[in-house]
Amino acid sequence: MKMWFLLLLIYSSTHMVPVRTQAKGKVILRGGENPCEGHVEIYYNNTAGHVGDKHWDDNTEKVVCRTTQCGVPVPDATKNVQRLENRTVWLNELQCSGNEDSLWDCPGYPAPGVSVYQKPTVKMIKCSEQVEINLVPSLCQGAAHFYKVNSGRTLSGYFCKDNWGDKDRKMAEQLCKSLGCGGVKEIPKLDEMMKEDFRESEKMAVDCADIDPVSNLWQCVRKNLKCRDPVVVTCEGHETLRLKGDGTNACSGQLLAKENGEWKPVKENRSIAKHVCKMVRCGAIGNHTYVDHNLHLTCTDTVKVVLLDNNRESKCFGLVHVSVNGVNKPVCAKKWTQQNSETVCKELNCGKSMSWSFYKDGLGSGIMDSVRCTSQDSSLWHCKAKHGTNLFCPEVPNVICSGSVKFSLADGPGKCAGRLEVLHGGERKRVAQSKWNEKYSDNICQRLNCGKTTGENHPERFFQGSGNFVSIACDRNQPDISECVKSEQNTRNEEAVGITCENHEVVFLKGSESCSGAVGIRQNNNTFWLSGSNETWNSEAAGTLCQQMHCGRLTKFSSSSSAGDISDMTFRAYRCSGKQRSLFDCDKVELPDHNDTIAQVECSGKINVSLSEGCWGKVRIFAEGKSEGVCADSWTEEMSKTLCQETSCGETILKVRKPPPRAVVTFKSLHTVGNNSSLRESTFVKTENIERCIPAYVVCEGSAELRFPASKDECRGTVEMVYEGDSLSVSRKVLTEHSNAICRKLRCGHAQHVAAYFGSQDVVEIITELKCSGDDSKATLETCSITAGKSSDLGFLQCSDWREMVLEEDGCKGEVAVYSQAGRMLVSSEGWTETEGNQLCTDLQCGPLKTKREVSGDDSFWNKTFKCPNDGKAESIWDCETETPPSLQRKKLFIECQDRSKVSLSGYCSGQVRINSSPVCNKNWDIDYSNRVCQELNCGNAFDHSDLPGAKSRLYVSCDQHHHVLGQCHRDEGICQSSVSVSCYKNITFQTTEKCGGQVQVNYGRNWKNVCVDKDTLKNSKLLNSLCKEMNCEYNTNARLEKINEGIYLECPTDYKDIKYCVKAQPCGGQTHGLIIECAGFENTEPVMEKSDITVPLIVGIGTSLLVLILIPVFVRFWMVRRARKKALTKMLPDREADQDSESYDEIGQPEEKALKGESIFAEAAVIKEGDVQSFSSLEYDDVDKAPEAQPLTSQGSKGNQNVADQSDDGEMYEVDDLHPTEDIPANMQTTVEVHNEPKVTAENSTGPPEDEDYLVPDQDG
């Protein structure tokens, strides 16, 4: 094959002949009510024509609607219309798929104007979108704007000015005329506000070239996303007019015209254009009158601005709408400004604009958008804006005027104290404390006839309520606080403003019981007493008081003389009818002439304040026979301290860990009368409706308790603190800092040591800090502040009085012993029953008691006996310990529990360590632990241990020195990253690579490894004979050393009896000596030849064959083309080359003949360069001779040495002759490839191919 063949092939296959572009023009719809309806008009060579309806279907209409930017076809709207006979039908027989970009792309038509169409009608279609075109912001002046309505969805945009010049002035003329605005007056500059709206809107370029006539600007559109400016035009009919109406109708009033920047009344001597009402978007002229020679006009439309709340017209707040002839339509919020809001509030006589926001839920099609009012506008309707009937309105402005604002104090103990609320936009809202200025408090109190504020340094707290927040901030130009309210958005942790005015008063009862005593009144730090005169103090007044105090029914009322000087006391009197809910709702009257007694009352109920869990929990108020919660909003730290003291739970409070969730409560707030008063004397504000809030919650210091967790140990382990009912572990940091104080607190002596906890170190909530007064040696922890947090720093504390109870035989059976600082002592059986036995077995995690018995013996005994309490509250065996020593007639106690701490390995004397089938974690594991396991399982010593990765639940283990089996050790369960695997010596096995001889290898539970030895090993006949016996091969006959790269040491002192213990858990790296032995019965077998892998040659052969088959038809075709152009090629190339090429083509034309002769079709391939006829072989077979070397095969009992490569059976090295890649190949060398089956293997050549496989060999005929 010659190189220029390939070049010509590439050229012929890639060369493209350009086709002259035809004048396929625009597609428009004409003859409908809007530009998205009509028959199809199509332009070809700048000439308009029709489209025939042969094969017309929905897909054709889809393409038309897409091409005209009109959406999708409207079903069942297509009809036949008369066509112009003198117009050409450019397209017919269209077979569109519906996905084409233009009708010109549809298949089917033979050529433009070729298909004969004789029908007198063509199809008229209707697309889904309705397009309206106007000028923004005025009727006859502004940017050319469009909006499309499709299934209720509105999309608006602008027409691009790019390439708009004098030639397109006629389009501007057409636009002005279509809007009823006459001709073009000028092309002005674009308004800045419209520039911003234009940048954010969809854009359409305009190209009306060759469309004649243009009936609608939409016929000229094409998408253009990068145009810079819109089309702007001022029509001749543009005049700036305005109607100055009132809030009831913006389309009725005095007509004003703008002259030289000022609005002036239109006089009676001026002619009125018939479309003046249309210019101000008010319909047609209804009637007109003249007042003081000024024109007053009433148009046919009635237009007014309304504010809607929940779709109902509201006063001075709500969503901005415009009512046109009784139909409300929203105003869109795009580019809404404060001035727009001011215009709305002023138009509705609602004061000033307080705030405005956006309502984001769709309310349907809008009527105004991009509104821009000025201070001179009397109505929103006459402000500059984009007008339309179906504007897309994603947001609507929500305006709140000052006329809607009202203030009140809510949820307080009286009308002059409570949470400040503002009626704002029809909604009661709270006032944000963070932005409140106390100077406004006097204004609020005076508005509510409550005097001034009290000016207390610690104002009362009130129920926070719910609802949105507002802020109040006035400037000098806002004398009315109602105008200063603004909505707030970021109020996540905000508090509501509470105010207590000087006229606020509360009633209290001073007596020994909560619902009885002398009636007092507290106002602004002054105390008054209720007059006991029978003129005002009666059963009606007393009954009202009991009801007000939540004290049930009236039991008794009376009067008592003052114990002090009457001149130092101030009295008040109220006359009640019995229908009032509070004493302060009664009429306040003048004091009688003779008043020297104080009103006394006794009610049926009682009031008490407590905590739900004793010394911690939710605050509970017992009143009216029920115990109910109170909101935390009004609760203070001082109240918490008072409650802890009154309930004997200490004097300090702890930090709350678990604040309760919101819940239904009965009492909104609690208000104390004075600084030193009891909580039961407080005033309670009860809910009237179902209220949800965070309940008041207190943790007194008396609720916290330190302890060691119940276990078989006493005075050592992790330390827990019972905190809010939960047991939280104490961190190692806290144990280190306060170890002595904790040991003393727990009556465990002094601290011995602190360590990290052996178990799982998950990040959990623990006690992370104790802050105590004084040094650790004297601290008592009663006055410490406690902090809990997330951490994994768990600690382990051991105090000097530590002790542990164990069973001696294994973890769940044996004599009962106590280990302590004093050593090992046995437990006396005296007093032990099934109860104590069950408790101990439970502590040991061994299930219930199985048996117990007494064992005689003279040993050291623990000096205490055990007897569990009858109430069953013992948490561990140490709760059963008594101070009674055992009698002199002592016997040892032997316990056996139902369960066992069964230790096992997953394999024989090796594998994963398990306790009761649960894997053991590798944390803190060492060789001593491994020895415990191997010895317990009768597997000798431990040889090695390793990690088994995998994060799962495991058993963490920690053993003390006196724990001789794993079941006695401390255990904890948790997620661990790796378990532990142990290999014992009893698991070690030996083998040789061949039967009774070869390389010595060892396995200890993982895989086989060569052993490495020193030179003296060959002299150790005892070792060599022992190895042969391990192979069941009697005695050793021969041994030698051989270099190996890695292995494991075998070293046997003369006194070792078990050869397995000669294996050392120590790898030998680098060049070292391996051991090769021959025992009696050793058989030296020849290696079996391995089958060579011919996969690669086979793939190469198949690939070459496929390539030949693919190229045959290509070259045949090319040969035919070549023959046709033979003369041209002869001119291009020298005669000699042309002859050679023609011969090559002839040869290619005879593939079958060469195949039958067994010759390769591509036996010779050459590359001809210009000016050079030297040829090179195109194929190299350098690698064909490189067959894989055979490796000896060994059976399980006889393994060959895989490290010795390229070696024959007799141990001599061999070489393979190969053609080096850099060697030159003769130019005329021909290489063929043949496929042979079933070659014979000869012993002389180890590179021969394997049997029963196909393979490739180079032809020997070089």
Per residue in 1077-1102, pLDDT (tens digit) is 999 988 776 554 444 444 445 565 66
- DSSP string covering 260-291, please? TTEEEEPBTTS---TTHHHHTTS-SEEEEEEE
State the sign of the Cα–Cα–Cα–Cα dihedral 141, 145, 148, 149. Answer: negative
pLDDT confidence bin for 1123, thresholds 50/70/90: low
pLDDT digits (tens, 9 = 90+) for 105-121: 999 998 898 888 888 88
Mean pLDDT within 933-950: 92
What pLDDT is stored for residue 568 in this prediction? Answer: 66
Q: Does the pLDDT at position 325 exceed 50?
A: yes
Give span(s): CATH 3.10.250.10, the chain.
24-126, 303-402, 405-500, 505-603, 608-701, 808-866+891-899, 911-987, 988-1079
CA-to-CA distance for 528 and 410, rounded, in angstroms? 25
The domain defined by 988-1079 folds into Mac-2 Binding Protein (3.10.250)
Residues ≥6 apart with Cβ < 8 Å to 187: 172, 232, 233, 234
- DSSP string covering 483-543, please? GGEEE-S--TT--B-EEEBTT-EEEEEESSSTTEEEEEEEETTEEEEEB--TTT-SHHHHH
Q: Does the pLDDT at position 420 exceed 90?
A: yes
C-alpha closest to that of 601 among 650, 645, 540 = 540
Q: Does the pLDDT at position 236 exceed 90?
A: no
Is 352 exposed, middle or buried (CB count within 10 Å of its CB: 0-12, 13-18, 19+)? middle
pLDDT digits (tens, 9 = 90+) for 267-303: 765 656 667 787 788 888 888 888 877 888 889 999 9
What pLDDT is stored for residue 1242 in this prediction? Answer: 37
Query: Hey, what CATH class is 808-866+891-899 in?
Result: alpha beta
What pLDDT is stored for residue 690 in this prediction? Answer: 78
Q: Does the pLDDT at position 856 exceed 80?
A: yes
What pLDDT is stored for residue 223 in this prediction? Answer: 72
Cα distances (angstroms) measured from residue 1187 to each of 200, 1207, 1208: 72, 15, 15
At how many degrees (to 10) do helices 1095-1124 and 3-14 cross? Answer: 70
pLDDT digits (tens, 9 = 90+) for 245-265: 777 888 988 888 877 777 888
For the segment(s) 303-402, the CATH number from 3.40.50.2000, 3.40.50.800, 3.10.250.10, 3.50.30.30 is: 3.10.250.10
CA-to-CA distance for 276 and 285, rounded, in angstroms? 7
What pLDDT is stored for residue 1172 in this prediction? Answer: 42
| Domain 405-500, CATH homologous superfamily name and number | SRCR-like domain (3.10.250.10)
- Is residue 1064 within 8 A of residue 989, CB to CB? The reply is no
CA-to-CA distance for 533 and 164, rounded, in angstroms? 98
pLDDT digits (tens, 9 = 90+) for 1197-1237: 333 333 333 333 333 333 333 333 333 333 333 433 333 34
CA-to-CA distance for 131 and 148, rounded, in angstroms? 5
Q: How far apart are the first and last CA of the chain?
A: 20
- Is residue 762 within 8 A of residue 923, CB to CB? The reply is no
C-alpha closest to that of 1043 among 1076, 995, 1020, 1009 = 1076
Mean pLDDT of the chain, nearest integer: 80
CATH of domain 911-987: 3.10.250.10
Both tokens of 682, joined, read: 């407080």
Residues ≥6 apart with Cβ < 8 Å to 1063: 943, 985, 988, 1002, 1004, 1011, 1048, 1049, 1050
What pLDDT is stored for residue 716 in this prediction? Answer: 94
**What percentage of residues in the chain have a pLDDT greater than 70?**
80
pLDDT digits (tens, 9 = 90+) for 597-633: 899 999 999 999 999 999 999 999 998 888 899 999 8
Q: Does the pLDDT at position 791 exceed 80?
A: yes
- β-strands 485-487, 910-915: how paired? unpaired
CA-to-CA distance for 597 and 344, rounded, in angstroms? 62
Residues ≥6 apart with Cβ < 8 Å to 20: none
**3-state SS class at 105:** helix
Query: Hey, what CATH class is 505-603 in?
Result: alpha beta
C-alpha closest to that of 668 among 463, 940, 410, 886 = 463
What pLDDT is stored for residue 1094 in this prediction? Answer: 47
Mean pLDDT within 641-664: 89
CA dihedral 1152, 1153, 1156, 1158 (to 10 degrees): -110
C-alpha closest to that of 833 among 792, 893, 890, 782 = 893
Q: Does the pLDDT at position 962 exceed 50?
A: yes
Query: ∠ at Cα 488 (483, 489), nearest 5°?
Result: 155
CA-to-CA distance for 139 and 998, rounded, in angstroms? 108
Q: Does the pLDDT at position 1105 exceed 60?
A: yes
Q: What is the DSSP letter of 695?
A: B
- Is residue 379 within 8 A of residue 435, CB to CB? The reply is no
pLDDT digits (tens, 9 = 90+) for 334-357: 889 999 999 999 999 998 888 888
CATH of domain 608-701: 3.10.250.10
Residue ranges of the alpha helices (H) in 54-190? 58-67, 169-178
- Strands, E, within 69-201: which ranges? 79-82, 89-91, 121-126, 130-137, 141-150, 153-159, 184-186
Is 40 exposed, middle or buried (CB count within 10 Å of its CB: 0-12, 13-18, 19+)? buried
Confirm whether pTM is higher than 0.95: no
| Domain 24-126, CATH homologous superfamily name and number | SRCR-like domain (3.10.250.10)
Both tokens of 343, joined, read: 């215009």
CA-to-CA distance for 29 and 23, rounded, in angstroms? 19
Both tokens of 825, joined, read: 């002592």
